[in-house]
Amino acid sequence: MIDIFGILGLILTVFFILVVLLLLITILLVSYSVKTKKVLFPGFILFVLDFLYYPLKILTEKLGLRKGYIDMISNDMRNFIYYKELSKIPFENRILLLPQCLRKRDCPAILDSMKGFQCTNCGRCGIGDLINFCNEKSINVFIVPGGSFVKKVIKLTRPKAIIGVGCHIELREASLVLEYLKIPGRGINLEKDGCVETKVNYEKIKKAVLIAKD
């Protein structure tokens, strides 16, 4: 008689060994990338991070690593993978999406249902200056009031590339949507997240929107 439990046990053991092996290789590759600033096999790293996303999230948090550590590495890998594709897209076919939480509490921008928050360049935050910078390169900027607005903007503007700013969770969710839509993108993490007056490195955004073929 076939020993079903024996076979199941064997399958589970082999699966477990494979997962541990994948993890060890990924840890080695990530450590190498962090040390040398050279990324080896980003597609493989991303595959493992996506495949083991929830267990890895729990594990890294239990180990005392920064919250969102896995999302940040995933975002870095995606940025690396899509760099070349993004660099080929003309500026006028790119859009930049900013979260509305970057604004100041007393921001006078008015919400337009089709265009998002309309910055008046009051100077209270860095968004006005960034919009001027992007306008010079014909890159459309949207201050996003919420997730459903992003879908609307993509439908309306049909961008060929999207650069987005957000917290690690938002960036991960957005990157999965972009992958599905086959739109190259680049995610820039907020330096201080939250619901109001978040912070970002504006120079990083300027560099990201200007990525071009050498």
| Cβ nearer to ligand SF4, comparing 118 with 138 | 118
Instruction: Give the interface segment with ligand SF4, choosing from 75-83, 87-95, 116-124, 206-214 (CB under 6 A).
Output: 116-124
Shortest reach from residue 42's CB to ligand SF4, in Å: 34
Contact between 128 and ligand SF4 (CB under 6 A)? yes
68 contact partners, CB below 8 Å, separation of at least 6: 167, 168, 169
Is residue 134 close enough to count as binding ligand SF4 by CB under 6 A?
Answer: no
* Interface with ligand SF4 in residues 95-114 (CB under 6 A): 103-104, 107-109
Nearer residue to ligand SF4 within complex by CB, 56 or 125: 125
C-alpha triplet 160, 46, 154: angle, nearest 5°:
20
Q: How far is the CB of 39 from ligand SF4 (least distance, A)?
A: 34
* Cβ-based burial of 164 (10 A; exposed 0-12, middle 13-18, buried ≥19): buried
Q: Are 32 and 38 in contact (CB under 8 A)?
A: yes
Minimal distance, residue 102 CB to ligand SF4, in Å? 7
Residue pair 207/191 in contact by the 8 Å Cβ criterion: no
Question: Positive or negative CA dihedral for 168, 71, 182, 38?
Answer: positive
Instruction: Candidates 13, 120, 132, 135: give the one binding ligand SF4 (CB under 6 A).
Output: 120
**Residue 190 engages ligand SF4 in binding (rule: CB under 6 A):** no
Nearer to ligand SF4, 79 or 198 (CB): 198
Query: Which CB, 13 or 132, lies closer to ligand SF4?
Result: 132
- In order, the DSSP letters of 95-143 are EEEEEGGGS-TT--PEEETTTEEE----SSSSHHHHHHHHHHTT-EEEE
Binding site for ligand SF4 (CB under 6 A): 103-104, 107-109, 119-122, 124-125, 127-128
